[in-house]
Structure 1
Amino acid sequence: MIKTKPVHINKWLLPFSWLYGLVVYIRNKFFDLGILKHEEFDVPVICIGNITVGGTGKTPHTEYLISILQKKYRVGVLSRGYKRKSSGFVLATSQSTSNDLGDESLQIKRKFPQTIVAVDGNRRRGIRRMLALDDAPEIILLDDAFQHRYVKPSYTIILSDFNRPVYEDSLLPAGRLREPASALKNANMIVITKCTDDLQPIDFRIISHDINAFPYQELYFTTFAYKGLYPVFDGSGDKLPLDSLEDKHVLLVTGIASPKMLIKKLSEYTDRIDTISYPDHYSFKNKDIKHITNKFNNIPSDNKIILVTEKDATRLLFREDISDDIKNSLYYLPIEVAFMDKEDNFKEKIYKHVRENSRNRNIYKK
């Protein structure tokens, strides 16, 4: 049986968590009573969200949904564009940068160029603008919008990190919950993400018991798969297999919520790993590029590599202060979602929902 580390709770902050919880309760009650209004749309709107702060894998799961839906439908993705420097509604193009869209939305657009990607802090306005396009999406994926109740999605998927069970957590600021764990009842699906590869049947049963999903909900377990190393800059190198790291010294540079899972994976191939960690969605500055360059140059090896996440790569692409030597050594490691069970069931549930909720959307045309 796998045991996760106990969830750390700042108990001295619990009184503030109770106040926070009261505000969340009142806000949700206003929506339930119709005092605050939500809007529904005549296309399938699938929300991929969570009830915690910190990374639960929303972007890889959004990409997974795109990959299974784009074969049959025109897919749109709408997010707020966290940490972007633009404002209002922005529709992604092939010339967009992370300043325009934020790193996650740019990553999706680069990986799925045929997908209609947009950002807008006002999700209702964003959906209306997307549906008014000549090539309007037939499905909209709302990235990280569970708390944005001004839009009522047709389907909701909540992600929960295996390493920090929501049923052991507390509300902000004592814990990391943005909503009480009871908010899971509002999901059509619950996905336990970042699971370890060695989960046993008893672990699935224990987690399922603790989550205590309702009969109308589906529960799934996913992990991350790593497929290889890709050069950050076009023309600076070839794709490398993961086992090529066995004879390399790695400088791992991350600006994500938690690099622990990534470090554990890399440790399977090499024990020569140096790390530089920045906060999630970090915007690299000139001094950071100099620090990375100096640390890399001081590694006493001729066979070395700088490795970043795919999300971090989008923020490095357009920098002009990276030398050619560093560009040629800079690779990113993309991640893909891998289901631990019932993947076919997951796909069929999504397909069924989309088939049953696809309607006439001409009313949104200008």
Structure 2
Amino acid sequence: MQVLRKLLFPISLIYGLIVFLRNRLYDMGIFSSKSFSTKTICVGNLSVGGTGKTPMIELLVRSLGQDFQVAILSRGYKRKSEGFLLSNDDSSVEDLGDEPFQLKTKFPEITVAVDADRRNGISQLENIIKPEVILLDDAFQHRKVKPDFSILLTAYDNLYVNDWYLPTGNLRDSKREASRANVIVVTKCPSDISKQDRAAIAVKMNLAADQKLLFSFLMYNTNLKGTEVTLDSLKRKKVTLVTGIANPAPLEKYLHSEGLTFEHLKYNDHHFFSDQEIAILREKECVLTTEKDYVRLQSKLPKLHYIEVKHEFLEDGKAILEAALKQFMTKTS
């Protein structure tokens, strides 16, 4: 696979040129970026693959939801509906897509909407809901909307500064666009990452003085959901780990570190399981999955467990982020 990606280097040059020209046209005002009266916070990345966007959206909901009326707008990737759709009690994972459905299930009091056209989605939310702040999920590269505050995520083991354009690398946007972010979070760090390592990353990032660089690691909940058991109790069972996420490696590493033995069935990100695949999984003694996969499997498999994950910041990172959010939300236009 790596050899093939290197052979496709000329295509990545063409892709990079297209990305550069597109961004320049936006920078010059030839393509327009629209601002809205409602405050908008964008969470995204420059690369394909998992950087922890959904756990970051969850963190923002918990930080802002107590004091402000929050709405979430997502594209709803791989959903089976079209256009703008506002979630309700009857919405399904097929209607919304797995991540928006996960968010609606976890935060039923929060408005969740999906629309590939972010401009239209924001306008619809302003007309119907009138929220105080809209969280834009995975929208950093969608420059038709100019967000008021942007959080850029990059994974510790695949920093955007070390990456290259698709298809040779994983970048879908230019490294230069990181300059538009208010906060950059290096996610999936080792929990014991050294100050020297963080300092070296900061040097590589070379951020502007007004940009904040934070570091986070993934914290897994050993009290499993779905069927209420502990992770430790699964050590006596024949466990099948089922993942349909971009990068399951951190989860694999964590489970091994906890002494869990398992077979791992890997599927593509946002995978919708076929009847044949469900039949195979039904024969397994114990199925453990991610929260995102759980919303696609919960109605089809008995005795299904999932493991929750959230971002934990190093040192005072969470306080810094919450202070920046508070300053943003209380700032008058």
**Residue 68 of structure 2 corresponds to residue 73 of structure 1:** yes
CA displacement 1:193-218 (0-9 Å, x = unmatched): 01111211111111111111111100
Check whether the contact 1:9–1:175 (CA below 8 A) recurs between aligned residues: no
SS in 2 for 1:223: strand
Check whether the contact 1:44–1:138 (CA below 8 A) recurs between aligned residues: yes
Check whether the contact 1:97–1:318 (CA below 8 A) recurs between aligned residues: no
User: What letter is aligned with 2:174?
Assistant: P
Q: What does 1:173-184 align with in structure 2 at a 5 Å threshold? A: 173-184=167-178
User: What letter is aligned with 1:148?
Assistant: H
- Give the Å deviation of 1:9: 9.2
**Residue among 338, 346, 359 paired with 2:312:** 338
- Give the Å deviation of 1:270: 2.8
Q: CA RMSD in A?
A: 1.7
For residues 149 and 180 of structure 1, the distance between their equivalents in structure 2, rounded to whole angstroms, comes to 13
CA displacement 1:16-70 (0-9 Å, x = unmatched): 1111111111111221222212211112100001000011110000110000100
SS in 2 for 1:163: helix
**Residue 186 of structure 2 corresponds to residue 192 of structure 1:** yes
Structure 1: stretches of 5+ with no match in the other structure: 1-6, 298-304, 360-366
Q: What does 1:56-71 align with in structure 2 at a 5 Å threshold? A: 56-71=51-66
**Residue 133 of structure 2 corresponds to residue 143 of structure 1:** no
For residues 352 and 74 of structure 1, the distance between their equivalents in structure 2, rounded to whole angstroms, comes to 17
Q: What does 1:165-244 align with in structure 2 at a 5 Å threshold? A: 165-232=159-226, 237=227, 239-244=228-233
- Give the Å deviation of 1:143: 0.3
For residues 168 and 345 of structure 1, the distance between their equivalents in structure 2, rounded to whole angstroms, comes to 26
**Residue 284 of structure 2 corresponds to residue 290 of structure 1:** no
For residues 39 and 249 of structure 1, the distance between their equivalents in structure 2, rounded to whole angstroms, comes to 53
Q: Which moved more, 1:75-84 or 1:267-276?
A: 267-276
Q: What does 1:126-141 align with in structure 2 at a 5 Å threshold? A: 126-133=121-128, 135-141=129-135
**Residue 245 of structure 2 corresponds to residue 256 of structure 1:** yes
- Give the Å deviation of 1:231: 4.2
Determine the structure 2 residue equivalent to 1:109. 104
- Give the Å deviation of 1:268: 2.5
User: What letter is aligned with 1:307?
Assistant: L
**Residue 49 of structure 2 corresponds to residue 54 of structure 1:** yes
For residues 97 and 287 of structure 1, the distance between their equivalents in structure 2, rounded to whole angstroms, comes to 21
SS in 1 for 2:257: coil
Check whether the contact 1:194–1:224 (CA below 8 A) recurs between aligned residues: yes
Check whether the contact 2:235–2:261 (CA below 8 A) recurs between aligned residues: no
The 1:9/1:62 distance shift into structure 2, 3 A limit, reads: farther
- Give the Å deviation of 1:166: 1.3
Check whether the contact 1:74–1:137 (CA below 8 A) recurs between aligned residues: yes
Check whether the contact 2:70–2:111 (CA below 8 A) recurs between aligned residues: yes
CA displacement 1:107-137 (0-9 Å, x = unmatched): 000001111100001111100110112x421
For residues 144 and 22 of structure 1, the distance between their equivalents in structure 2, rounded to whole angstroms, comes to 22
For residues 95 and 265 of structure 1, the distance between their equivalents in structure 2, rounded to whole angstroms, comes to 35
SS in 1 for 2:158: coil
Determine the structure 1 residue equivalent to 2:297. 316
Aligned-residue identity in percent: 39
User: Across the two proteins, how many residue pairs are aligned to each other?
Assistant: 331
The 1:203/1:343 distance shift into structure 2, 3 A limit, reads: same
For residues 31 and 205 of structure 2, the distance between their equivalents in structure 1, rounded to whole angstroms, comes to 29
User: What letter is aligned with 1:59?
Assistant: T
Check whether the contact 2:224–2:230 (CA below 8 A) recurs between aligned residues: no
User: What letter is aligned with 1:111?
Assistant: K
For residues 344 and 258 of structure 1, the distance between their equivalents in structure 2, rounded to whole angstroms, comes to 28
- Give the Å deviation of 1:8: 9.0
Determine the structure 1 residue equivalent to 2:265. 276
**Residue 85 of structure 2 corresponds to residue 90 of structure 1:** yes
Determine the structure 2 residue equivalent to 1:351. 326
SS in 2 for 1:279: coil
Check whether the contact 1:77–1:115 (CA below 8 A) recurs between aligned residues: yes
Determine the structure 2 residue equivalent to 1:306. 287
For residues 245 and 206 of structure 1, the distance between their equivalents in structure 2, rounded to whole angstroms, comes to 39
Check whether the contact 2:244–2:268 (CA below 8 A) recurs between aligned residues: yes
SS in 1 for 2:186: strand
For residues 228 and 94 of structure 1, the distance between their equivalents in structure 2, rounded to whole angstroms, comes to 29
For residues 326 and 299 of structure 2, the distance between their equivalents in structure 1, rounded to whole angstroms, comes to 37
The 1:11/1:159 distance shift into structure 2, 3 A limit, reads: same
Report the structure number with the largest CA radius of gyration.
1
